Amino acid sequence: MVMDVRTGQIVSMANLTANQKKASTSTPSSATATATAGQTIDIGPKGPVSEAQNNLAMTQLYEPGSVFKLVTFSAALQDGLINPNTTFTVPDRITLDGSTFHDAETHPTEQLTATQILAQSSNIGTSEIAQGLGETRLLAQVKELGFGEPTGLNFPGESDGLIAGPTQWEPTNFVSLPIGQVDAVSPLQVLDAYNAVGNGGVYVAPKLVRATVGPTGAMTATAPSKTHRVISSSTDAELTTMLQQVVNSGTGTSAFIPGYTVAGKTGTAQIPTTGKDSYTTGAYMATFVGLAPAKHPVFSAIVVLDHPTPIFGGTVAAPVFSQIMSYALHHYDIPTTPGAPTTPPPPGTVAAAQTQDIT
């Protein structure tokens, strides 16, 4: 999905499924196509790809993984608990209520700033910040950013999400909730929350219909989307700068767009096993959600891949975001960002591996 940051207008949306039974290895990997309703097309060696029967962007719930870290960081910045340079001592694992939680990659105990924790997507560092916030504040921020609440779009089959409230709270939620487990949300809700960051901290309800056409052919514009502030402007500016580092030097470097600054977040989330209190081995949802140009965003966008190979949001979802967002910026003649790099970071200079993003 691609959204106009200021109006909430959804300017592009696609839901595609791959039919592996009819996959053709003869299709060139560079092949691309656009599907109209019900059309089946070949895209790359794993095609054909067809339109999904349901609007997954609005109706499918999933545990979002690290993109949900926006909840913890926005609340902590808003309350003055942290600033972008606040330093934490971060081990690679902690024990809460008898359960052990760890970062995706083993590492010695490190001194990391809040910006580095976000850019490198440290699960343990995020949990340390969340514990400082406390249960009540965390749950309040989940709701404040629109999770568990109607988006206002009223799309058929759209879900408000499944949110763990005070009655379901457990001590281990100080890790699982901040890193995007426990709660199930829609991709649209994730995009709405990040779009608020791009809109200076003001949530703008999503909008799918631009206008209606009457019997005479006259067009009537739909009402503007409702808005309300969810993050202060000063906090929003700090958060945007931190999210830029995700793309500049963190897990989201593959979202780089030549000539433009990008702010965003990766997510690589385990998929729960149906009917069991466990996760399915080897099954992941990969996400990248972001804004461009970073400081004065015109568009926000989200890409979610179900059971991708490779599994990492920074590896598979971020490049798709880059391609789509790059097209949108050029299509609408959005000026490049003065001073923005035109080449991606050289190999070996990136501070975070994309594998660190797993929750």
By annotation, the residues acting in catalysis are 66
Let me know: does 352 contact 315? Beta carbons within 8 Å: no
135-144 vs 69-78: helix axis angle to the nearest 10?
110
Going across the sheet that includes 40-41, the strands are: 16-18, 49-51, 40-41
CA distances from 298 to 2, 64, 209, 238 (A): 10, 24, 19, 18
Phi, psi of 217 (to 5 degrees): 95, 0
**225 touches 206 (CB < 8 A):** yes
Cβ contact 204:232 at 8 Å: no
How many other β-carbons are positioned within 10 Å of the β-carbon of residue 87?
13
Q: Judge contact between 302 and 197, C-beta under 8 A.
A: no
Using CA atoms, how far apart are residues 33 and 329, in angstroms rounded to an integer? 20
Residue 357, phi then psi, degrees to nearest 5: -85, -10
